[in-house]
Amino acid sequence: MGCQCSKLSPCCWDSQIKAAVLEAPDVENEGNSEVADIPAFREFTLEQLKNATSSFAVENIVSEHGEKAPNIVYKGKLENQRRIVVKRFNRMAWPDARQFLEEAKSVGQLRNQRLANLLGCCCEDEERLLVAEFMPSETLAKHLFHWEKQPMKWAMRLRVVLHLAQALEYCTSKGRALYHDLNAYRVLFDEDANPRLSSFGLMKNSRDGKSYSTNLAFTPPEYLRTGRVTPESVIYSFGTLLLDLISGKHIPPSHALDLIRDRNLQMLTDSCLEGQFSDDDGTELVRLASRCLQYEPRERPNPKSLITALTPLQKETEVPSYVLMGIPHSGSCTPLSPLGEACSRGDLTAIHEILDNIGYKDDEGVANELSFQMWTDQMQETLNSKKKGDVAFKQKDFGMAIECYSQFIDVGTMVSPTVFARRSLSYLMSDMHREALNDAMQAQVISPVWHVASYLQAAALSALGMENEAHVALKEGTALEAKRNATTGQK
C-alpha cells in the first residue's frame, strides 16, 4: 500500500492528546471569492414553488431518505429555467414565521462559490420553505459510501476538505460561524463536480443556538454537556468528515481515536486508496483530524488554520473535479436524439412528425379520476374534442388543433401531457411562442420527468430569443431522456 500505516510518524497519535491550536497567517483563499451571477435573495410565493416542483411531486424528491425525511427536499425549475432545490419543513420546525424570515434573509445574504447558495424562501400560512441552488452531482455520502463506478480518489478527497474549510472560513468571516449537523450529506457537488457546502445547515431554528440533530456517537462532547452548538463544535464535525474521507466509512470519532492511539491505522485507512498517497500526507491528515477532535474546544484549530494545513497537501490541482470523480461533464458533447436535435434546430416540421409518431404512449400512468357522472355527461364530448384535435394536428391544421385541444383541456375531466405538448407545438407553428412555453411547462407539471416537455420548452425559449435558457432546457431534456432510456433498456 502506498501509505504503510506502521510507518506513519508517532506524532499523528501523540498530537491528539495535547494538540496546540494552529495559528495560521492569512492565506490566498480563492474560496472567499463571491459570485456575481447568483440572483439576490427573494421571497417566493407558494404558488411559484408549487409550479417549480410540479406541486411537490414525489418524482422530484431528492432527500436522502425520500418521503420519510423530517424535512423534505425537492428539485425544481423556475420559469427562467434556473434549477433549484426547495426544502419544505415540517409544520413544527418553525412556529415563529418572523424568526424564520429573519434567519433565511440573513443566510440569504451570503454568496460564495464554495456554497450551494440560498436563493430565497417562502412563508405562507403554515408553510416554511427554503430555495437554494440545485447541485446535480449528488452528495459526498453518495460518492464516498455508496459509490457504483469508482471510489473517490485521494486527490479529490483532499479537494473536498479544502473547499469545505474555505466555505467555513467564508461563513465565519461573514458572522455565520455556526453550522448545524455538518456531515457527508451536507456536502454537495455542482455540475462541474466541485464540492459545495449546503447553505441549509446555516439555518438555526432557535435564537440561543440549541439545535443539533445527529447520531450521539458523532456529536461534539460539549454539546452533550451544554446542549449548545459553538464554532468549535463545527470544527469537531469537520474532524468527523476528515475521518470519513480517510476511512471511506462513517466511524465514531472515539473508535477512530482508539485506532490512532493503538497505532492501528491500517484499520482506519480506506483500502481503496492503496498507492495514492505518501506516508507524510497520511500522517498530516490523521494529525489534522486528531486536532479537530480534541475534547477541549479551545484546542481545536480554526478554519484559517485548516486551510493553511490543507493547501500544501493538494494533488493534481490542474485536473478538473469531474475528471477526478469520473463524472460526465455537462460541457461535453452528448449526442442529441432526433427530437432533441429537431428542437435545437427549431425544425418544427420534424418535431411535428416525431410527436405524431409518438402518439399518446407517454400518457400511460397519468392519473385520471373520473366520477360516473362525468363519464355519462361529459366523457363523450371531451373525447370527441380530443379526437378532432388529433385529426387537425395530423393534417397540420394547427388553428383547429388549438381550438379542439383547448376544449378538451378546459373541460378538465382528464389531464394529458401529450395534449399540452401537441397544443404547445401548434402554438409554435402559429407564432404564439409564449403560449407554447406555458403549455410545455404545464406538460412537465403533469409529468415531471418527461423529456418531451423539456425539449418543447427549449424550442419555445429559443423562439422567444432566450438562448441561454433554451440551452439549459435542452440539456435537461437530454438528461431526462438518457435516464429514461437507461431505465427501460433502450439505446
Q: Are residues 124 and 145 in the same domain?
A: no
Q: Is the pLDDT of residue 392 over 90?
A: yes
Same domain, 154 and 249: yes
**Is the residue at 457 inside a domain?**
yes
Residues 260 and 120 in one domain: no
Distance of CA 159 to the CA centre of its chain: 19
Domain limits at 92?
38-134
What was the pLDDT predicted at 21?
Answer: 36
Residue 263 lies in a domain: yes
Residue 247 located in a structural domain: yes
Q: Which of 95, 111, 134 is the last residue of a domain?
A: 134
Q: Are residues 127 and 150 in the same domain?
A: no
Q: Which long-range contacts (CB under 8 A, 24 or more apart) does 355-358 make?
A: 355/418, 355/421, 355/422, 355/425, 355/452, 356/393, 356/394, 358/418, 358/452
Look at residue 18 and tell me if it is in a domain. Answer: no
Domain check: are 62 and 170 in the same one?
Answer: no
User: CA 50, CA 29: separation in Å to the nearest integer?
Assistant: 39
> According to the model, what pLDDT value does residue 334 have?
65
The C-alpha atoms of residue 222 and residue 229 are separated, in whole angstroms, by 8
Handedness of CA 434, 435, 437, 441 (dihedral sign): positive
| Residues contacting 56, CB < 8 A, separation 6+ | 50, 72, 74, 86, 88
**Minimal CA–CA distance to 109: which of 206, 168, 42, 205?**
42
What is the average pLDDT across 52-80? 84
Q: Judge residue 343's burial from the number of C-beta atoms within 10 Å of its C-beta, 0-12 exposed, 13-18 middle, 19 or more buried.
A: buried
5 in a structural domain? no
Domain CATH for 269 = 1.10.510.10
Q: Mind telling me the catalytic residues?
A: 181
- Choosing from 99, 134, 169, the residue where a domain stops is 134
Question: How many folded domains does the chain comprise?
Answer: 3
Interval 55-79 mean pLDDT? 84
pTM confidence score? 0.76
The stretch 36-40 carries a mean pLDDT of 80
- Tell me: do 63 and 154 sit in the same domain: no
Least confident range from 93-107, 145-159, 188-202, 363-377: namely 363-377
Is the domain of 262 the same as that of 313?
yes
Q: Supply the CATH number for residue 409's domain.
A: 1.25.40.10
- Pair 69, 158 in one domain: no
The pLDDT tens digits of the residues spanning 232-290 come to 999 999 999 999 999 998 888 888 888 877 776 777 888 888 888 887 888 889 899 99
55/188 same-domain check = no
Output the domain CATH number for residue 86: 3.30.200.20
CB 85 within 8 A of CB 63: no
pLDDT, mean over the chain: 83
Average pLDDT over residues 37-64: 90
Last residue of a domain, one of 113, 134, 155: 134
Q: Is residue 481 part of a domain?
A: yes
Question: Is the same domain home to 309 and 220?
Answer: yes
Q: Is residue 4 part of a domain?
A: no
At what angle are helices 303-310 and 231-247 packed, to 10 degrees? 30
- 280 domain residue, yes or no: yes
Do 114 and 182 sit in the same domain of this protein?
no
On whether both 353 and 315 belong to a single domain, the answer is: no
